[in-house]
Chains A and B, each alone.
Chain A
Amino acid sequence: MGSAMQPQDKASLWQRLRRPSAKYSVLAIVSTFFVLGILFWGGFNTAMEATNTLEFCIGCHEMRDTVYQEYKKTIHYSNRTGVRAICSDCHVPKDWTHKLIRKIQASGEVWGKITGTIDTPEKFEAKRLTLAEHEWARMKASDSRECRNCHTFEGMSFDAQKDRSKKQHEIGKKTNKTCIDCHKGIAHQKPKGMKGDEDDDV
C-alpha cells in the first residue's frame, strides 16, 4: 500500500497555513519562530548597521570626494585621544525609533544617487548650503541629540578648556543654545552664503 495522497496535500498553501498543526506542538512552532525571529531581527539590524559604517557612506563618490575629505582634516577624525566620530555618529540617531525614521528618509538619498543630483563637484557646491541647512535644522530640532550621544555640558571640565571655549560654553548654557547653534562647520567646510541669526550679532 503506497502512501495515498492525503486530502490536505491538494489544499492551497494559504489553506494549509490557516489549519491548526497536526504534526507539531505549539511549543515547537513557537520556539522555532522565536529563534527565527531573533535571527531575522539580528539580520535586519546587521544590515541596517552596515549602512551606518564609514565604508558604506563613502561608497558613494558624492560623499567620498567632498565632505569626507573635509572631515578628515577635523578633530572628529583625528585627535589626541583617538576617539573618532564617523558619519553615522552625527548623522544617524542612535535610538531605534529615530534611527528607523532616518533610514526610511534615506531612501530620498538613494533617489538622489540614482538621478545624480550632486554627482559632480559643481553640482555639490551649488547644493552645499541647502544640504547643510537641512542637517542643521534636523540637529536643532532634536536639540543636537547626536552630539549629546558623546558630549554634555555636565561632563565638561571647564578648567580643562581654553578661556574662549569656557566662556562660549557658559554663555551657551545661559542662553539655552544647542550645540549646532555655534558649532556649524565642526566637521565639514562652512558653505558660502550662510544666513546667520541676528540674535548672535552685537
Chain B
Amino acid sequence: MFSIRILTAALLAGTGLITAGAAYATPDWSKAASRTITVVYPGVSPIEWIRKGVDHSGARGMKQGETCVNCHEKEAADLGQRIVTGQKIEPEPIKGKVGSIPVKVEATHDGTNLYLRFTWKQPPGGGPKMDPDNEVKLAFMLEAGKVELANLGGCWSSCHNDVRTMPGVKGDKTKYVKDGSLANGVFYDLIQWQSKPNKGRDGYIADKRVMEGGKGLVEAKGEKKGDTWTVTFTRKLSPNNEGDINLEPGKSYNFGFAIHDDHTYGRYHHVSFGYKLGIDADGDLKVMKQ
C-alpha cells in the first residue's frame, strides 16, 4: 500500500510537470523583479493617527501626494527600533522584539499566474504566544486604486483605532476599509499564508475582513532552512471573482505585506509601507512576464 501511494504521487507529479498551461509552474526566479523591503513594527499607528498632522507630521507630506515610502523607506530600521522599544507610539513594548525585518521580495508572472516569493531571516523571539499554533504568518494585500490613501500607504487604510488588539478596544472588530464595498470595488484583496498548516487563504477586506472565498490563490507554501524562511505564493493574475483583484498587464497596483513573527497576532506584526506592483509596467516592483 505504501509503495503504491508513492508511485501514484510520483505519476501525478510527473504529469503535473509535463502538462502545458499547468495550474502552476515553478517560475525562473532569476528573471523575477527583486527588492529588499524592510517590514517595520508599527506600534499604534492607525490610519486615524496617520491622517492627523498634529500626531503624525507626515500628514502634511501626504497632502502633497508623498507616499510613506518616500519619507520612511531609508530610515525604516531606525523607525521600527524607536517604536518597538516604546520610545514612540507603543504603550506596551514586547521585550526582545525586533523593530524591523529586511525581506527579499521577488515577483514575476507568466501570463497566467503571479508568483511572489518572500525570503527573510527569522529574528530572535521569545515573546508571548498570542497565536500558539502559528510560529509565522505572512499576508499581502493588493488594491486597484479605489481605497482612500492606499496609493500612498498600501495596507494602512485597513488599520483603524477601533480594531481588535488596538489599545482600549474590547470586542472583535476586524480590519476594515472606510466606505468598504465589494460592489463599488472599494476593498483590499487579501492573501495569507500560515505556517501551520503551511497553507494559504484568499479573502478580502471591505467593510470587514473575510478570510475565505477568494479564487485567486493557487498555492502558498513556506519553508524554513536553518533560520531563513521562504514563502512562495502562486496566484492567478485574473481570478474574475468578486473580492479578487484582476491584475492586468500594463497597470500597477497598490501592494503591501506583513509578517506575524514569533506567534503574534493582531497589531503585533511587522508591516511594509505601500509599494506599487507594476504588471509589465513601472512600479516599485516591475513584474515582467517570463
Contact = CB atoms under 8 A, between A and B. Distances in A.
Contact of A202 (B62, B72, B73): B62
B52 interface: yes
B30 interface: no
Given A197-B53, A201-B52, A171 B64 contact: yes
A169 to B, nearest CB: 11
Contact of B51 (A168, A172, A195, A201): A201
A55 B72 CA distance: 39
B52 A162 contact: no
Nearest to B78: A162
A162 B134 CA distance: 37
Interface residues of A, number: 18
A182 interface: yes
Contact of A182 (B52, B60, B64): B60
A167 B66 contact: yes
B71 A200 contact: no
A182 B57 contact: yes
Nearest to B152: A202
Given A162-B75, A171-B64, A197 B70 contact: no
B5 interface: no
Task: Classify the interface of chain A: helix, strand, loop or mixed.
Answer: helix
Contacts of A194: 54
B61 A167 contact: yes
Contacts of A199: 53
Given A167-B61, A167-B66, A201 B75 contact: no
> Which of A168, A174, A202 has the most B CB atoms < 10 Å from its CB?
A202
A178 to B, nearest CB: 13
Contacts of B52: 196, 200-201
A172 B57 CA distance: 11
A164 B59 CA distance: 12
Nearest to A166: B71
Contacts of B58: 164, 168
A73 B53 CA distance: 24
B225 interface: no
B54 A164 contact: no
A162 B74 contact: yes
B63 interface: yes
A164 B72 contact: yes
Contact of B61 (A162, A171, A196, A201): A171
A196 B63 contact: no
Given A164-B72, A167-B70, A200 B62 contact: no
Contact of B74 (A163, A168, A182, A201): A163
A162 B59 CA distance: 17
A197 B59 CA distance: 11
A137 to B, nearest CB: 16
Per CB-CB distance, the 10 closest pairs between chain A and chain B, nearest first, are: A200-B53, A196-B54, A164-B71, A202-B62, A202-B59, A202-B63, A202-B51, A201-B53, A200-B60, A194-B54
Given A163-B71, A199-B53, 12 more contacts: A163-B70, A163-B74, A164-B71, A167-B61, A167-B70, A171-B61, A172-B60, A196-B52, A200-B52, A200-B59, A202-B51, A202-B63
